[in-house]
Amino acid sequence: MTADIAIEERAAAELRREVARQFGRSLHIRTLDTGSCAACEQEIRLLAAPHYDLHRLGFFFTPAPRHADMLLVTGPMIRAFAVAASKTYEAMPEPKLVVATGACALGGVYPDDAFTYGRVDGVLPVDVWIPGCPPSPLALLQGLLVAVGRLAEKVSGLSFIARSPEGAHEDATAGGAA
Amino acid sequence: MTVTGTTPLSAVAAAADTQGPVVVTDVSAADLAGITKEVARAPGARLADMFADGTDPVMLRLVWALDSDQRYLITQTPIDTDDYPALSDIAPAAFVEECEIYEQFGVRPVGGKPLNRVAIPPPLGQGDIDLPRLGRAPAELPQDVHAPHVVGGQAFEFPFGPVRQVGVESLYYGLVTSGEEVVDLYMFTWHKHRGLEWRTQGKTPAQALFHVERAEGLGAVANGWAFASAAEAALGIEPSAPAQRCRAIALELERLYNHAAAIAALCQACGLAVGRAAAEIALEQLHRLNAAVFGHRYLFGVVDIGGAVVTPDTQALRAGLPDAYGELRRGGEALLATNSFVDRLEATGTVTEEAARRLGLVGPVARASGVAVDTRLDHCYGPYPGQLRLPAGQPGGDALARLKVMLDEVAASVSLVNALLDPVGLEQVGGSDLPGRSGPRSNTSGCEHSANTPVRTRPGRPTGRSGLGWAESSRGESLAWVELDSDGLIRRARLRPAAVRNWRGFDDACRSQNVFTDIPIIEASFWLTVAGLAR
């Protein structure tokens, strides 16, 4: 049990450092349900509970896609929902990430048929996949850690950063982390 | 109960000696309105579900819960024409099902009343795949209901959704408001319709159970149990006593975590961060307990057709339950002693007893409105003892009454789990110390029926076997109907989670002199899932 706690603490510290470095302790997440059974939503809500306390790591939930860096998508992408999902994604500013969350989103529950695309990447460009039915809050945290790394790659690939003469990647993040 | 002639009620009376809790009887289309009227007026009878099957003719089935008789009555009526009597004029609880049957089978109630779009989404555009239906498509597609933008020169419709706030399911509200007060509220849930009843066709019950559990993840045990029970009745098998006990323990654990989640959501809706944190600590403990006892935080994969897959770790349960319950109980007591919180819930989202009966509501929502329905008491199934005593509910019908019902049920569930762990104590569940202002309810007559194999008073359909199953979920009565073909594959499965019944009470609750900011509180106090409705 002690070893587990130590591993958890190390992972949390690493995640906190990355979020602070990349996003000035402020990475905002928007959730999107495209046909889930409601279990993934409950696990996502529990990320803010005292056992996990997502805020201590520098993550925050936002109700507005225009303020979001990351879209946490659950469900198998119902075809009737695709327009709403696309509009949500398009409303987010660059750089942005899509995290497919749970077995439905990954294609493990529903096939591609008349009702659903069967997986989130039928409509949205997925960057990170979090398996589980539903993924536990710890699995979600692990997925967020991976996602932060992917977002860092996207940030470094942005044209205004690539053109910067003095290594703007570090500059762009150092101010926020101060 | 008045029993006359050869009506369904007399069929129930005739079946009284046959030890069966489900009575199936045929009713002609010509008699349907009269018989529906008669059963609807019978004391202790409520329309629990209505669904259809087939195409030529469409078989219309009404499931009546005769709670005081501990029986379900199913009437089946072949509909040869394009319409049938408007049953929602007699039993208003039938309206949503009338809409659903029109969408899926193309038959409609006479009179030309407008029918809403319930499940099948509107056409998505040219080149899209036609959406499969359970029967034939309607002649004319039903429409979404919208209020006029101006009502009496004052109100307008405010669209909200389907993408909503963080960590909640997608749902579209059409809020009709004059600026603050909720004048009316419409809901569209077809954005989440996954065609689950259609998906079960042609599968074995064991294969279909995977999707049934995921129809509503927060009710996997209850819905799975109801479905398994229906399939078992169709197959003529009965689970062993230990398997039933295992299911019942899982069901109470499901009730505990759902009530904890509802209390956390209530606190969040009221902006009470400390209360929310306390409830979420208990909620996380309960999920971890589920994982320790049954191997899954949401108890997926516990129920199986004919039994249960997982044997619970009783040691982990005995060790972990007191802590989680203690956390939740302390949080609940603190909440009820917090005046600002209690004031916010009082008179918010009131559902009157008349409305609860009229709409056929179930579970804590009904019990908080003075309608004491609970299938664990009213319809014998599972391992529940003859002297089972449960809280009767609360008067009031508001969000506060629903919170109190949930807190009472938390205590009762813990008592029941402890009793189920102890075979000797199984006959001693409950007692005078159980909470509940009105005093506990009990099924003192005990279980009169040994199995839920239907008693067929007349020959049913010539092919296949069928069965009805039920379980008391944390949201109320969950029902399932399964009909198998000669190869043992599902010909028709009807899934009716409690959410299907109780969402129709939600708009009534929102309309009763509430304002915008009351809606999250009312939604939390109902604690329903969109997934359960848009299955």
Residues of B in contact with A78 (CB under 8 A): 121, 191-194
Q: Residue A149 — very low, low, confident or very high, per pLDDT cuts 50/70/90?
A: confident
Interface test with chain A among B191, B223, B258, B276, by most A beta carbons within 10 Å: B191
A38, B529: Cβ pair inside 8 Å? yes
Q: Give the residue on A whose Cα is nearest the Cα of B167.
A: A41
Residues of A in contact with B530 (CB under 8 A): 38
B169, A104: Cβ pair inside 8 Å? no
Look at residue B13 in the predicted model and tell me its pLDDT: 61
Task: Give A100-129 pLDDT, tens digit per residue.
Answer: 999 999 999 999 998 999 999 989 999 999
Distance from CA of B528 to the nearest CA of A (A): 10
Query: Helix B205-213 crosses helix B220-235 at what angle (to 10 degrees)?
Result: 160
Q: Residue B151's beta-bridge partner residues? A: B155
Residues of B in contact with A29 (CB under 8 A): 166
Look at residue B363 in the predicted model and tell me its pLDDT: 94
Closest by Cα among B238, B240, B230, B237 to B205:
B230
Helix/strand/coil (H/E/C) assignment for every residue in B10-50? HHHHHHHHCCCCEEEEECCHHHHHHHHHHHHHCCCEEEEEE
Q: Are A116 and A80 in contact (CB under 8 A)?
A: no
Q: Residue A153 — very low, low, confident or very high, per pLDDT cuts 50/70/90?
A: confident
Pair type for strands B465-473 and B389-390: unpaired
Contacts for B403-408: CB closer than 8 Å, 24+ residues apart: B403/B263, B403/B266, B403/B335, B403/B336, B403/B345, B403/B525, B404/B336, B404/B368, B405/B364, B405/B367, B405/B368, B406/B259, B406/B262, B406/B263, B406/B364, B407/B259, B407/B263, B407/B329, B407/B332, B407/B336, B407/B435, B408/B434, B408/B435, B408/B436
**A29, A80, A113 member nearest B124 (Cβ):** A80
Q: Mean pLDDT over residues A2-30, rounded? A: 72
> ipTM greater than 0.95, yes or no?
no
**A33, A114, A137 member nearest B170 (Cβ):** A33
Cis bond upstream, residue B57 (ω within 30):
yes
Give me the torsion for CA of B346, B347, B353, B355, rounded to 10°.
-140
Look at residue B210 in the predicted model and tell me its pLDDT: 96
A37, B217: Cβ pair inside 8 Å? yes
DSSP reduced 3-state for B58? strand
Q: Give the residue on A whose Cα is nearest the Cα of B298.
A: A39
In angstroms, rounded to a whole number, what is the distance separating the alpha carbons of residues A142 and B198?
36
Residues of B in contact with A107 (CB under 8 A): none
Q: Are B382 and B214 in contact (CB under 8 A)?
A: no
B216, A51: Cβ pair inside 8 Å? no
Identify each DSSP E strand in B379-487 by its residue range: 389-390, 441-442, 455-456, 465-473, 476-484
Q: Are B210 and B198 in contact (CB under 8 A)?
A: no
**Which pair of tokens denotes residue B198?**
């259609």
DSSP reduced 3-state for B156? strand
In angstroms, rounded to a whole number, what is the distance separating the alpha carbons of residues B283 and B290?
11
Report the half-sphere exposure of B453 (CA within 13 A, side-chain side).
Answer: 10
Query: How many A-B residue pairs are in contact by the CB < 8 A criterion?
Result: 126
Give me the torsion for CA of B498, B500, B501, B505, rounded to 10°.
120
Q: Are A106 and A133 in contact (CB under 8 A)?
A: no
% of chain B with per-residue pLDDT over 90: 54
Higher pLDDT, B443 or A17: A17
**Which pair of tokens denotes residue B169?**
């399911």
Look at residue A103 in the predicted model and tell me its pLDDT: 96
**Residue with the two structure tokens 């591993």:** A7
Q: How many CB atoms lie within 10 A of CB A141?
A: 20
In angstroms, rounded to a whole number, what is the distance separating the alpha carbons of residues B76 and B212?
24
Residues of A in contact with B214 (CB under 8 A): 37, 104, 109, 133
Q: How many CB atoms lie within 10 A of CB B339?
A: 9
Distance from CA of A169 to the nearest CA of B (A): 30
In angstroms, rounded to a whole number, what is the distance separating the alpha carbons of residues B228 and B221?
10
Interface test with chain A among B103, B144, B166, by most A beta carbons within 10 Å: B166
For the domain covering A23-152, report its CATH number. 3.40.50.12280
Angle B91-B94-B100 (CA atoms, 0-180°, nearest 5)? Answer: 165
Domains of chain B: 8-109 (3.30.460.80)
**CA of residue B321 relative to chain centroid, distance:** 26
Distance from CA of B207 to the nearest CA of A (A): 12
**Residue partners of A95: CB distance under 8 A and separation at least 6:** A69, A151, A154, A155, A157, A158
In angstroms, rounded to a whole number, what is the distance separating the alpha carbons of residues A11 and A25?
16
Give me the residues of chain B with pLDDT under 70, please: 1-8, 10-19, 125-129, 145-153, 385-387, 423-464
Q: Are B519 and B182 in contact (CB under 8 A)?
A: yes
Interface test with chain B among A31, A33, A99, by most B beta carbons within 10 Å: A33
Closest by Cα among B57, B17, B30, B39 to B461:
B57
**B121, B167, B532 member nearest A44 (Cβ):** B167
Q: Give the residue on A whose Cα is nearest the Cα of B285.
A: A51
Cis bond upstream, residue A134 (ω within 30):
yes
A46, B281: Cβ pair inside 8 Å? no
Whether the pLDDT of residue A168 is over 60: the answer is no
In angstroms, rounded to a whole number, what is the distance separating the alpha carbons of residues A90 and A87?
5
Pair type for strands A59-61 and B172-177: unpaired
Look at residue B149 in the predicted model and tell me its pLDDT: 58
